Amino acid sequence: MKRVIVTGGAGFIGSNFILYELKKDPEIFIVNVDKLTYAGNLENLKEVENDPRYVFRQMDICDAEGVSALFDEFDIDTVINFAAESHVDRSISDPMVFIRTNVLGTATLLNIARDKWSDGNGGFREGVKFLQVSTDEVYGSLGPEGFFREDTPLDPHSPYSASKASADLIVKSYYDTFRMPVNITRCSNNYGPYQFPEKLIPLMINNCLNHRELPVYGDGLQIRDWLYVEDHCKAIDLVVREGEVGQVYNIGGHNERTNLFIVNSVISYIHDNQDETVDESLIRHVTDRKGHDRRYGIDPQKIHDALGWEPETMFENGIRKTIRWYLDNGEWIDGVVSGAYQKYYDEMYRGR
């Protein structure tokens, strides 16, 4: 991969990925294509904005003409599609934007890439790849035993996960039908710097810092399999460079925790390092999410065996680094929680 479109590069994982690649690969050239929805923030990329190996274009991935022109302008050989509406709760209140961006947007990118990368003989140019960043949520919910494997049947429940599963199937169809060089990665819940405070960990950190109640959905015993974002970036880098075309790779760290464990970890770090008045009394159990998946857990054996990937960040280290980052980057949080965020928070949590 030399000349890469990274979509959604102003979001949480996309911006961590761009920062990681520009540090790692002196030869790479990245075009960050992002619509800058509420979740996109160019502040994340301040340190690279003048790097000659990086350009930003504000664009919707559903804009076929615009995306097509970028392929010609930059002679793109790789697409890594992070762009998505990514928050389950928002997909419950407003599903259509998820269908549009996650399904139609992915199909638009894929179709343009197919056209631009054609070798004119029914095949594809050497060295091209389309990587779809997906989620373990496409597999649905686990009981107390077992893990998601790549051959676990898709069984999404929320409009978010259903839109991601739909996109995965379209990507798969381009491999099955046209033998287009694609990969799909499915990762578990990420955490780390630059995550928007609608997701569990940054929301709880922000609320602790503001002495706001900590809204735990239902009994708080739901389980997520947490993955430090930099470990995820390394896995994507490996898959895009070395992954066998047509393959799906699950990415997870065998790091399952209940939501209450996560919330208590945030409380205790902030209590010990920042503000002694923050304690468990801030926790409030609120009405559960509709259709809430109980447990996610990934079996990452395939990517380990095929590409030698394994997560390097122990949860205890990762969570400390993450909370420290939010404590040290108060201006970043202040920037993202102004205006529209307050309205979102009130609508989602008031009277819940």
Assess 215 for contact with ligand TYD (CB under 6 A).
yes
Q: Which CB sits closer to ligand TYD, 78 or 134?
A: 134
Assess 205 for contact with ligand TYD (CB under 6 A).
no
Q: Return the range that interacts with ligand NAD (CB under 6 A); candidates 69-77, 81-89, 119-127, 138-146.
A: 81-89
Assess 224 for contact with ligand TYD (CB under 6 A).
yes
Select which of 77, 136, 225, 231 is catalytic: 136
- Residues 281-300 binding ligand TYD (CB under 6 A) are 289
Q: Which CB sits closer to ligand TYD, 48 or 336?
A: 336
Assess 259 for contact with ligand NAD (CB under 6 A).
no
Query: Regarding beta strands 256-258 and 223-225, do their DSSP bridges make them parallel or antiparallel, or are they unpaired?
Result: antiparallel
For 209, 232, 270, 274, the CA distances from 264, given in Å and listed in that order, are 14, 24, 10, 15
Is 242 tagged catalytic?
no
Pick one of 32, 78, 166, 190: the residue that binds ligand NAD (CB under 6 A). 190
Return the half-sphere exposure (C-beta side, CA atoms, 13 A cut-off) of residue 351.
1
Assess 88 for contact with ligand TYD (CB under 6 A).
yes
- Rounded to whole angstroms, the Cα distance separating 111 from 182 reads 12
Select which of 54, 139, 160, 269 is catalytic: 160
Is 136 tagged catalytic?
yes
We find the least distance from the C-beta atom of residue 152 to ligand TYD, in angstroms, to be: 17
- Rounded to whole angstroms, the Cα distance separating 187 from 228 reads 11
Give phi and psi for 281, each to the nearest 5.
Answer: -65, -15
Q: Return the range that interacts with ligand TYD (CB under 6 A); candidates 42-50, 59-67, 197-205, 274-282.
A: 197-205
Q: Which CB sits closer to ligand NAD, 61 or 128?
A: 61
We find the least distance from the C-beta atom of residue 110 to ligand NAD, in angstroms, to be: 14
For 3, 12, 69, 202, 324, the CA distances from 8, given in Å and listed in that order, are 16, 9, 18, 19, 25
- Rounded to whole angstroms, the Cα distance separating 189 from 185 reads 13
- Residues 221-250 binding ligand NAD (CB under 6 A) are none
For 146, 175, 257, the CA distances from 298, given in Å and listed in that order, are 9, 24, 13
- Residues 86-145 binding ligand NAD (CB under 6 A) are 86, 101, 105, 133, 135
Assess 20 for contact with ligand TYD (CB under 6 A).
no
Assess 222 for contact with ligand TYD (CB under 6 A).
yes
We find the least distance from the C-beta atom of residue 122 to ligand NAD, in angstroms, to be: 30
Binding mask 35-74 for ligand NAD (x = CB under 6 A): xxx-xx-------------------xxx------------
Assess 203 for contact with ligand TYD (CB under 6 A).
yes
Is 160 tagged catalytic?
yes
Catalytic residue set? 136-137, 160
Give the residues lining the site for ligand NAD (CB under 6 A). 7-8, 10-14, 34-37, 39-40, 60-62, 82-86, 101, 105, 133, 135, 164, 187, 189-190, 196
